[in-house]
Amino acid sequence: MAFEKAKEYLKQFGLDSHVMVFDVSSATVELAAQAVGCEPERIAKTLSFQVGEESILIVAAGDARIDNGKYKAQFHTKAKMLAFEEVEERIGHAVGGVCPFGVNEDVKIYLDASMKRFETVYPACGSGNSAVELTLEELERCSGYEAWIDVCK
């Protein structure tokens, strides 16, 4: 269901034809890189956090890690990832397929500067066996992002 929702969401931007579906899992950065055939850092992982009562997503390069000091400076709170069992309900996609497409209406999306070194990146597409290749401009256009931020090491 989440896969169809994400793919349908991408259709309005003419990007649904970019979606790839694999016969193998792409639920982790390493597995996604193998499935796609690219370097792990080009996988655009989507991380789920809670800021106050809000749920947010941060899309970052596959090799990036959250820097607690930068995160606190950006959001004025300590980084608190959503619990595994909360992700699907609060975001709209299950762990392994979380992406910035077709998420619940109240979820804010941020793009991390760690991805700016690439021409294209590969976020998931709502399932643990999918990805979509997008330029950064396409990702900006279809993610409904709030801002580019710098919260990773």
Please check the confidence at residue 145 and state whether its pLDDT lies above 90. Answer: yes
Q: Specify the pLDDT at position 5.
A: 94
The pLDDT tens digits for 51-104 are 999 999 999 999 999 999 999 999 999 999 999 999 999 999 999 999 999 999
Q: Specify the pLDDT at position 1.
A: 72
Distances (CA, A) of 130 to 13, 17, 69, 108, 153: 18, 12, 32, 22, 26
For residue 95, the one-letter residue type is V
Give all strands (DSSP E) within the chain, no chain letters.
Answer: 19-21, 43-51, 54-61, 108-112, 120-123, 130-132, 134-135, 147-149
In 3D, which of 5, 66, 67, 61 has the Cα closest to residue 33?
Answer: 61
- For 50, residues 6+ apart whose C-beta sits below 8 A from its C-beta are 56, 80, 81, 82
Please check the confidence at residue 144 and state whether its pLDDT lies above 80. Answer: yes
Domain count, the chain: 1
d(CA 42, CA 9): 22
Distances (CA, A) of 116 to 17, 69, 81, 112, 140: 23, 21, 23, 8, 12
Range of the domain at 93: 2-149
Q: Counting every residue, how long is the chain?
A: 153
Q: Specify the pLDDT at position 56.
A: 98
Q: Specify the pLDDT at position 16.
A: 94
Please check the confidence at residue 140 and state whether its pLDDT lies above 80. Answer: yes
Mean pLDDT for the stretch of residues 1-11:
93
d(CA 130, CA 127): 6
The pLDDT tens digits for 104-136 are 999 999 999 999 999 999 999 999 999 999 999
Q: Report residue 142's pLDDT band, with 50, 70 and 90 as the boundaries.
A: very high
In 3D, which of 62, 107, 92 has the Cα closest to residue 1?
Answer: 92
Domain holding 129: CATH number? 3.90.960.10
Instruction: Read off φ and ψ for residue 137, nearest 5 degrees.
Output: -65, -40
